[in-house]
Amino acid sequence: MRLAIDLSKKSIEEGGGPFGAVIVKDGEIVAAAANRVTLHNDPTAHAEVMAIREACQKLNTFDLSGCELYASCEPCPMCLSAMYWAHIDHFYYANDKNDAAKIGFDDAFIYEELDKPQEKRNMPRVQMLRDEALKAFKRWEEKTDKTEY
């Protein structure tokens, strides 16, 4: 956890956001990353996502079962989702979402949006070309040598 916190402090000095994350497997550090949203011009470059990407590359897998994640702050909805998709076994955090909200990193609007019916959400959505897109799903369904994830 101290490494995650140190990464969050270093990130500030480098022009990034105040967040760090470390992934551990079998007691060994597999990945350590800081927030790179502003440095990479990438809104998905949160510390947890960056650490997941690094760990997957190092371990040559998309499945991080058996890994734990240490984050300097409670993960946002995107990072938490990524952690579930990566099959992280357990996570620990230091600052919580209320601490983050106090310094301008408030994710409450995302949780509120998810609670609203689709037609009342702030981001308009329009479904189109479903029949055409379903062809890819049909091909996936029929594929016998696919890698499930």
Task: Classify residue 11 by its DSSP letter.
Answer: H
* pLDDT value of position 90: 97
Residues 6+ away with beta carbon under 8 Å from 40: none
Q: Which residue has the higher pLDDT, 86 or 124?
A: 86
Q: Please calculate the CA angle 19-23-26 and round it to the nearest 5 degrees.
A: 155
CA distance 71 to 112: 24
* pLDDT value of position 97: 94
Is residue 68 part of the annotated active site? The answer reads: no
Q: Quick check: helix, strand or coil at residue 22?
A: strand
Q: Which listed residue (13, 28, 48, 132) is catalytic?
A: 48
* pLDDT value of position 2: 98
* pLDDT value of position 139: 96
Q: How many CB atoms lie within 10 A of CB 14?
A: 11
pLDDT digits (tens, 9 = 90+) for 100-127: 999 999 999 999 999 999 989 999 899 9
CA distance 114 to 126: 17
Q: What is the arithmetic mean of pLDDT over 81-86?
A: 98
pTM over 0.75: yes
Contact indicator for 66, 25 with CB cutoff of 8 Å = yes
Q: Are strands 67-73 and 28-34 parallel, antiparallel or unpaired?
A: unpaired
* pLDDT value of position 83: 98
75 — pLDDT class (breaks 50, 70, 90): very high
pLDDT digits (tens, 9 = 90+) for 14-37: 999 999 999 999 999 999 999 999
Mean pLDDT of the chain: 96
